[in-house]
Amino acid sequence: MGRTQSALLSTILLSTIGVALSYGQSLQTASNSVAPAATTLTLVQAESIAIENQPRLLAAQLRARAAAQRVREARSGLFPTIAFNATGVAVADTGTATAAGALTTSSISDRFAYGGNLVQLVTDFGRTSALVGAERSLADAQRDMTTLTAAQIRLNVRSAFFQVVGAEAVLHAAQEAQGNRQLIVRQISALAQSQLRSTLDVSFANVLESEAELAVVRAESSVQQQRAHLASAMGQLQPVTAALVEEQLPPQLPPDPSSFLIQAESQRADLNASIAQQHAASHFADSERRLSYPTLNALGAAGQIPFHDRTLQGNYAAAGFNLSIPVFNGGLFAARRNEAELESAARTHDVEEVKLEVNEQVQNEWFQAMEAYRSLDVSARLVAQSKESLRLAQARYQAGLGSIVELNEAQLSETSAEINAAGANYTYLTRRAELDFAAGLLN
């Protein structure tokens, strides 16, 4: 190739590369200006929708309300029981008495009577109060589990939200690469027709264009899948179509996870639920220990007998008490007491196990978040280095010193670096969300 052809080739390539870059920018501008999204969706809005719609959270809230009713059930034993009665009897033979079925031989009299009776617990030596305390602790545990469910939903929404934004960033980079590859194919084809480039360059450029097109197809599918996943995390059946508003990167992590460990110890909902369950088991064990104590009830009854025979009075009223003292039941109460005490001791070890798990999870999430944060700077430097390599490869290609393989490898490296940089941002956001969940900050 002569010196004149080399100069001509350099001029053509320089102009076409410049056109390619401007073409890629125009594609980006057009994609931003054409068919703007009708609505936008922020992360806060997505979490609010999920909190309102997620069936799992609604079910947990109903269970918490049901647990609160069990507290009322246990506390009802401390209040009087009042019942109204009405009885009518017609006896075939005067003097009839019950002769079988018990020791009673009282006579049955003709009558119609109505009245009421009252039973009031005087004392069972704290057994009912201990049962109330157990149910209250269980209700607290259920509320903590509801809080944990809400935190898990927020974490799922944040992870899905960042995956959508990350997939769209990958799609954007793939579309830019496809546009540039298509332009280069046209340029190389024109140069090949002028016998300034070989058909091998054209063939290789076509292969890279097809690879870029395949990358776009995969990226588009990934975006749709992630949007459907976000809709499920938000409790919706239809995929999310609104444009997502990107979140700013959170501040730098502290130098060690100690502050997150302190927060997790007091705010982690599953740990608080485990502690509440241990308290419930302790209260129940106390109530089972009091089974062997006496129970004293006050009794009262009063009413009228408007129709009766001569053996009865017209009105009646009575008051008394009933003292029940357990003596022997085959060791039932002792077995129940031992069972409850062993379960209470087991719950204590369960709390220790949860503390170990929470501590390990917080530290692991902190290390992963720190790794993702440090990767941000490395990814930014990699983008700058790949852009410089692409500039040098373009200059070599324009001067006729480099091949199409070298240029396309530089473009591929630059595109990959851009994708990795976008992925690093959203990976860090996801890791921070997981760390916040581990520390109980998403409650």
> For residues 276 and 64, what is the distance between their CA atoms, to the nearest angstrom?
14
| Residue 8 backbone dihedrals phi, psi, to 5 degrees | -65, -45
Q: What local confidence, expressed as pLDDT, does residue 98 receive?
A: 62
| Residue 89 backbone dihedrals phi, psi, to 5 degrees | -135, 135
pLDDT digits (tens, 9 = 90+) for 253-279: 899 999 999 999 999 999 999 999 999
The mean pLDDT of 411-434, rounded to a whole number, is 85
> For residues 326 and 82, what is the distance between their CA atoms, to the nearest angstrom?
25
Q: What local confidence, expressed as pLDDT, does residue 288 receive?
A: 96
Q: How many CB atoms lie within 10 A of CB 254?
A: 11
Q: What local confidence, expressed as pLDDT, does residue 220 receive?
A: 92
> For residues 55 and 62, what is the distance between their CA atoms, to the nearest angstrom?
11
Q: What local confidence, expressed as pLDDT, does residue 209 receive?
A: 84
Q: What local confidence, expressed as pLDDT, does residue 99 receive?
A: 59
Exposure of 105 in the CB half-sphere (CA atoms within 13 A)? 2
Q: Partners of 320 in the beta sheet?
A: 299
Q: 348: buried, middle or exposed (CB in 10 Å: 19+, 13-18, 0-12)?
A: middle
pLDDT digits (tens, 9 = 90+) for 342-381: 999 999 999 999 999 999 999 999 999 999 999 888 988 8
Q: Taking 70 as the threshold, does the pLDDT of residue 34 lie above it? A: no
Using an 8 Å Cβ cutoff, are 223 and 422 in contact?
Answer: no
> For residues 67 and 276, what is the distance between their CA atoms, to the nearest angstrom?
13
- pLDDT bin (cut points 50, 70, 90) of residue 20 is very low
Using an 8 Å Cβ cutoff, are 293 and 314 in contact?
Answer: no
Q: What local confidence, expressed as pLDDT, does residue 22 receive?
A: 43
Q: Taking 50 as the threshold, does the pLDDT of residue 4 lie above it? A: no
Q: Taking 80 as the threshold, does the pLDDT of residue 389 lie above it? A: yes
Mean pLDDT of the chain: 85
Q: Taking 80 as the threshold, does the pLDDT of residue 33 lie above it? A: no
Q: What local confidence, expressed as pLDDT, does residue 189 receive?
A: 85
- The pLDDT > 90 percentage for the chain reads 56
Chain centroid to Cα 271, Å, comes to 16
> For residues 144 and 275, what is the distance between their CA atoms, to the nearest angstrom?
10
pLDDT digits (tens, 9 = 90+) for 172-222: 888 888 887 888 788 778 878 887 777 777 887 888 888 888 989 999 999
Task: Identify the structural domains of the chain with CATH numbers, from first to last.
Answer: 3-30+39-88+125-298+329-438 (1.20.1600.10)
Question: Tokens at residue 53, please?
Answer: 């719609």
Q: How many Å is the Cα radius of gyration of the chain? A: 40
Q: Which of 54-68, 322-336, 417-431 has the lowest mean pLDDT?
A: 417-431
Q: What local confidence, expressed as pLDDT, does residue 405 receive?
A: 76
H/E/C letters for each residue in the chain?
Answer: CCHHHHHHHHHHHHHHHHHHHHHHHHHHHHHHHCCCCCCEECHHHHHHHHHHHCHHHHHHHHHHHHHHHHHHHHHHHHCCEEEEEEEEECCCCCCCECCCCCCCCCECCCEEEEEEEEEEEEECCCHHHHHHHHHHHHHHHHHHHHHHHHHHHHHHHHHHHHHHHHHHHHHHHHHHHHHHHHHHHHHHHHHHHCCCCCHHHHHHHHHHHHHHHHHHHHHHHHHHHHHHHHHHHCCCCCCCCCEECCCCCCCCCCCCCHHHHHHHHHHCHHHHHHHHHHHHHHHHHHHHHHHHCCEEEEEEEEEEEEEECCCCCCEEEEEEEEEECCCCCCCHHHHHHHHHHHHHHHHHHHHHHHHHHHHHHHHHHHHHHHHHHHHHHHHHHHHHHHHHHHHHHHHHHHCCCCCHHHHHHHHHHHHHHHHHHHHHHHHHHHHHHHHHHHCCCCC
Q: Taking 90 as the threshold, does the pLDDT of residue 314 lie above it? A: no
* Total residues belonging to the chain: 443
Q: What local confidence, expressed as pLDDT, does residue 236 receive?
A: 92
| Residue 174 backbone dihedrals phi, psi, to 5 degrees | -65, -40
